[in-house]
Amino acid sequence: MQSFRTELENPVVPQEIIDLEKNIRAYREGQIVEDKFKSLRLARGIYGQRQPGVQMVRIKIPFGKLTFKQLLKIADVSDEYASSNLHFTTRQDIQIHYVSLDRTPELWAKLSEDDITIREACSNTVRNVTASCIAGIDPKEPFDVAPYAQGFFKYFLGNPVSMELGRKFKFGFSSSEEDTALSFIHDIGFIPKVKYENGEEIRGFKVVLGGSLGAQPYIGQSVSEFMHEDLIIPFSESVVRVFGIYGERANRNKARLKFLLNKVGFDEFVKMAAEEQIANKVKSYKIDRNTVQEPIPPTPEVVNVEIPADRQLAYEQWRATNIFEQKQAGYYGVFIKAKTGDMSTDTARKLVASVSHLIADDMRVTMNQGLLLKYARQDNLPELFLALDTLGLTEPGHDSVADVTTCPGTDTCNLGISNSMELSRVLESVIYEEYIDFIHNKEIKIKISGCMNSCGQHGIAHIGFHGSSMKVNGKIMPTVQVLLGGGAVGNGEGRAADKVIKVPSKRAPQVLRTVLDDYSNKEADYKSFLDYYDSLGKDYFYQLLKPLADQSTVVDDEYIDWGQDSEFIRAIGVGECAGVIIDLVAALLVDSQEKLHYADLSLKAEAYADGIYHTYTSFINSAKALLLDKQVHSSTQIGIIKDFDTHFVETGEFDLGQKSFADVVLQMSKNEPTAEFAHAYFAQAKQFLEQTKSQREAVVVK
């Protein structure tokens, strides 16, 4: 393993990368237990694959913005450390696979040279901040939301309130009321709004709270129809803080924000968040609108090229489905469909080399797993088409029925039940070969996940599939759960899809044909696909598809999953994407000491809010350690506080000077983050940790 120089010797390498190397070494030497180490690496974007001994590394690309240089750097890193492939995700990240754990610090250091991070890309953290890929060039946008997404990325990255939550937390910004970033599936989603007072434009956002997918989709609810732009970060911080204190931490299946909202009630949660704002780092936060500026358009010479006769139809389809006119007059946005979200590093390099003179140096990873190129001139579109066509990047039908969203499934994911990647390729082929007119239909979305967890967003699909299995004739068969009727409605409203029927995986193409044939025959009678579904009702579609679920007609090939050549085996590993639960006393006490160290550094830097939150976490970890010695398992931080009072303070076993533990710890939520309070709170936590260690030593001696 490479040894890194200190920050003073090499300022490019941040301390956290050096710390990762030290932690890997300590783990290899048995000084850090497995569960603790999982937590450390996941928070740094390093995720265990289905294949033993290798890692997936998730690279955080805020709102999908990439320069040519950054794309080339990621390609270089994938060649050197991974499998020479780039996988674009639905959260605008880029994932690379088959990485050796020992080389991840070196990999991260190389990415950081071009301002690319993997920090907090996985685990129980604030994840990548997404935004409509067309933000800044969207003809329908009231203003560009990209600077706001960038502001959120910078504010929450490395922020103590967002680094160790009970579960992941997601922000998303749509560019207009069309809600192309799907605000309603985010923990907090934003839609830009403008109002006028005395002739002055006032910017704000409709704010949607509590959305998420998973096995139980929850459509977010509006918490504000117009929140001033300077208040969205303070509001969001207070929501994250309340989620951290009161959210579930033991049962990961109940640990998303939506479950806390259901538990305490939506209105009560909003009230709790408002009360928590006193402890916020900021009460108002002005995001710099110039943080993200539209790039300088290119000025290429016009090259007169002729589209070959055999590619003329392809060019026309590409122009009709993958190109749109930007709000900047004379310029066009160009979408690239990346099949299953994958692009080889060789293709990525050739892409930059062949089109960089024709587009602006500002690409965007799209939420449907492709790329957006910006500022192409109309006269250069033929040349651009031919350059992309040579690379196989002109497949038509961006964001149409033919643009199927998919997760990696059993290719690399521990939780995958079925091969969603190959199924998506098969279904796209069905569209291109049998239903070519549907490449123009941008309403119907087909989405596939390899399991019920909805990483492929099947839970909000118009036509969705998720991997499953069933026993038929004594053997395990790969199946898909068919879902219908989901989708975005607009302006922060959405619909969860209905589970309709389960069929053998090999019959999924016939499910698609049956639905599209029926819709094609009836389309003239309905305003939209969702109107068609609602009017006919769920049972109609159950009866329509019921013959495809008939087990008496199963043939041998249907026991074999897509892309496989042997009978299906349902092999599911332990998922890591939501982090792990660590209940080890010694590790907790080490964590408490470490949090006090971070708190001390923050106080010395006069970052009092950060110092207070680190101090709070030290209190919680110390208390949890002693509770575990009594076999008391609390599933929330507020539960730890209450249980410590019950089992230690009220029994007289732990003396807090006539105060309850709640009185001491929850001062954090009742005080402004002043220097005076921060230092006093820190001193109390330091004393509490020493008492905890003494108590622990006494227990061990006994």
- Per-block mean pLDDT, blocks of 10 residues, the chain (702 long): 36 66 86 78 84 92 98 98 96 96 92 92 93 98 98 95 94 98 98 95 98 92 98 98 96 92 97 97 95 90 92 98 97 96 98 97 97 97 98 98 91 79 96 97 96 91 94 91 97 97 96 98 97 98 97 93 78 50 66 92 95 96 92 94 96 91 96 97 96 75 42
Q: Which CATH class is domain 15-112?
A: alpha beta
Q: Decide: 108 and 130 in contact? Cβ < 8 Å.
A: no
Identity of the amino acid at 294: E
The predicted pLDDT at position 576 comes to 54
Residue carrying structure tokens 């492709």: 370
The yes-or-no answer to whether 130-279 and 405-559 have a common fold is yes
pLDDT at residue 662, rounded to an integer: 97
| pLDDT attached to residue 13 | 43
pLDDT the model gives residue 408: 84
CB neighbours (10 Å) of residue 604? Answer: 9
Question: Check: CATH 3.30.413.10 for 130-279?
Answer: yes
> Within the chain, what is the greatest distance between any pair of CA atoms?
88
What is 240-307 written as a DSSP string?
HHHHHHHS--S-GGG-SHHHHHHHH-HHHHHHHHHHHGGGSS-S-----TTSS-PPPPP-PPPP----
Q: What residues have CB less than 8 Å from 578, skipping those under 6 apart?
A: 123, 124, 167, 168, 252, 255
Say what the pLDDT of residue 584 is: 62
Q: Pairing mode, if any, of strands 323-325 and 221-228?
A: unpaired
Helices (H), 494-584: 508-522, 529-536, 538-545
Q: Please name the CATH architecture into which domain 585-701 falls.
A: Up-down Bundle (1.20)
Tell me: domain 309-390, CATH 3.40.50, correct?
no
Instruction: Give first-to-last CA distance, the chain, whole Å.
Output: 42
Encode burial over 243-274: b for 16+ CB neighbours within 10 A, e otherwise.
Answer: bbbbbbbeebebbbbbbbbeeeeeeebbebbe
Report the topology of domain 405-559.
Sulfite Reductase Hemoprotein; domain 1 (3.30.413)
pTM: 0.92
pLDDT given at position 181 = 97
Domain ranges of the chain: 15-112, 130-279, 309-390, 405-559, 585-701
| Residue 580 three-state SS | coil
Q: What is the pLDDT of residue 545?
A: 98
Phi first, then psi, for residue 532 (nearest 5°) are -60, -45
Give 222: exposed, middle or buried? Use CB within 10 Å, 0-12, 13-18, 19+. middle
pLDDT at 57: 95
Predicted confidence at residue 8, as pLDDT, reads 32
Order of all β-strands in the sheet with 446-449: 405-406, 446-449, 463-472, 475-484, 498-504
CA–CA gap between residue 153 and residue 148 (Å, rounded):
9
What's the confidence (pLDDT) of residue 65? Answer: 98
Tens-place pLDDT, residues 336-383 = 999 999 999 999 999 999 999 999 999 999 999 999 999 999 999 999
d(CA 453, CA 216): 8
Q: What is the pLDDT of residues 3-20, one digit of tens each?
A: 433 333 333 346 778 888
Report the distance separating Cα 80 and Cα 577, nearest Å. Answer: 25
